[in-house]
Amino acid sequence: MASEKKRDYYEVLGVSRDASADDIKRAFRRKAKDCHPDAHPNDPEAEARFKELNEANDVLSDPDKRARYDQFGFEDPMQGMGGGWSGAGGMDVEDVLNSFFGGGMGSMFGGGGRRSAGPVQGNNLRYELRVTFEEAARGCEKSFDFYRSEECDTCGGTGAKPGTKPVTCTTCRGSGQIRTGNGFFTMARTCPTCQGTGKMVQDKCSACGGSGRKRMRRTANVRVPAGIDNGQTIVINGQGEPGMRGGPSGDLYVTVLVKPHKVFQRDGYDLLLDFPISFTQAALGAELDVPTLDGTVKYRIPEGTQTGTQFRIKNQGIQVLNGRSKGDLVLTVHVDVPKRLSEKQKDLLRQFEASATGREYEGRKTFMDKIKNAFGG
């Protein structure tokens, strides 16, 4: 499979990269109907297409998987990952550690079969990093503190009080396993006292309570690339929990949470902006001072601009992630009808209204004509 070039999941579903969850659901249903194996019996090509479609849907309909696919494509570092997650699935890091290393773990895993004597890769950790809209758009360097479990430096990870050593486990007499049953049926399970290590601690290290691990506060630095979007993940290799018995460290997965902007909204790499204008500006045309991420730009709207009209200002959007180009700034103008007018202003407007012949209003004229047609007036 590896040599075969896989088709882009968005292409498979025939949707754009900014398709909504509903778009994806609809596209999948439509395509699944087309190439469902029931409709094409004994057609290996249809079957392959159906499989491909299911795979694409599986990834794109799951927000987490989709975010990772958007960032990493088919090279997702989480596929085939050695270490497990910690901090995920409702357990916090400490719960996971306690369950792995704490005294009461035997009951938790029904015998503690998870602990092996060989090298073990450290857990991956997850961190949620909050950035401002501008920081995400322009990119930034961030540092943050996080906790991770590391080997206790007081006891060197043995869990034994300095100056003492772990002794042979009395439950299993050092074998790490407990055998039950007799005759033909002998069951071996990992010793719950020592979790299979064959050693137990008599005088516990006071720094780590005998677990051999300590929760340490660490600082990570991360470069947030320009154009990153809410929910996308950056991987910092080797910054997760250190491995045990020579195993490699886990990775630190930093999920970026972008604060909404007060003025702009984001649509892919385009910036959306609602811009109120006066009806005079709408009628006469105007040069607007349009805010951008970097300041303001002048933009001329034409005479007779209707409310709701969109204007696209090229290359004033967000920089494309890992690219050079930029999205656009999409301006939607709204006519802000004035209130609290003075008598003089009202008078001017009445004069204007009296001078109108009706030809000035295209929409109203069409509307009146329709009414005439409909009701025979």
Half-sphere exposure at residue 353, Cβ-oriented, CA atoms within 13 angstroms: 6
Instruction: Find the shortest distance in angstroms from Cβ 146 to Zn ion.
Output: 21
Beta pairing class for 329-335 and 270-277: parallel
DSSP string, 151-215: E-TTTTTS-BPTT---EE-TTTTTSSEEEE--TT--EEEE-TTTTTSSEE-SSB-TTTTTSSEEE
Nearer to Zn ion among residue 24 and residue 169 (C-beta): 169
CA proximity to 123, closest of 155, 170, 154, 89: 89
Contact 337, 280 (CB under 8 A): no
Q: Figure out which of the listed residues 13, 24, 129, 172 binds Zn ion, where binding follows CB under 5 A.
A: 172
> For tokens 């292409």, what's the residue?
11
Nearer to Zn ion among residue 112 and residue 243 (C-beta): 112
Instruction: Find the shortest distance in angstroms from Cβ 97 to Zn ion.
Output: 13
Q: Which residues contact 265 (CB under 8 A, 6 or more apart)?
A: 271, 272, 273
Beta pairing class for 233-236 and 252-258: antiparallel
Q: Figure out which of the listed residues 98, 193, 249, 281 binds Zn ion, where binding follows CB under 5 A.
A: 193
Nearer to Zn ion among residue 171 and residue 292 (C-beta): 171
Q: Tell me which amino acid residue 238 is.
A: G
Residues in the chain: 377
Instruction: Find the shortest distance in angstroms from Cβ 104 to Zn ion.
Output: 15
Instruction: Find the shortest distance in angstroms from Cβ 211 to Zn ion.
Output: 7
Q: 124-163: which residues touch Zn ion (CB under 5 A)? A: 152, 154-155
Using rule CB under 5 A, residue 244 touches Zn ion: no
Could you give the CA distance from residue 172 to residue 188 in angstroms, rounded to a whole number? 11
Could you give the CA distance from residue 25 to residue 145 in angstroms, rounded to a whole number? 39
Instruction: Find the shortest distance in angstroms from Cβ 200 to Zn ion.
Output: 6
Instruction: Find the shortest distance in angstroms from Cβ 208 to Zn ion.
Output: 3
Q: Figure out which of the listed residues 194, 252, 290, 318 binds Zn ion, where binding follows CB under 5 A.
A: 194
Q: Figure out which of the listed residues 207, 220, 283, 288 binds Zn ion, where binding follows CB under 5 A.
A: 207
Nearer to Zn ion among residue 34 and residue 153 (C-beta): 153
Using rule CB under 5 A, residue 230 touches Zn ion: no
Q: Find how far residue 161's CA is from the centre of its chain.
A: 43
Stretch of 85-93, 137-145, 169-177, 229-237 contacting Zn ion, by CB under 5 A: 169-177
Q: Figure out which of the listed residues 129, 169, 224, 318 binds Zn ion, where binding follows CB under 5 A.
A: 169
Stretch of 51-59, 68-76, 192-200, 326-334 contacting Zn ion, by CB under 5 A: 192-200
Size of the site for Zn ion (CB under 5 A): 12
Q: Figure out which of the listed residues 59, 93, 131, 191 binds Zn ion, where binding follows CB under 5 A.
A: 191
Using rule CB under 5 A, residue 208 touches Zn ion: yes
Could you give the CA distance from residue 156 to residue 119 in angstroms, rounded to a whole number? 16
Could you give the CA distance from residue 295 to residue 309 in angstroms, rounded to a whole number? 23
| Site for Zn ion, rule CB under 5 A | 152, 154-155, 169, 171-172, 191, 193-194, 205, 207-208
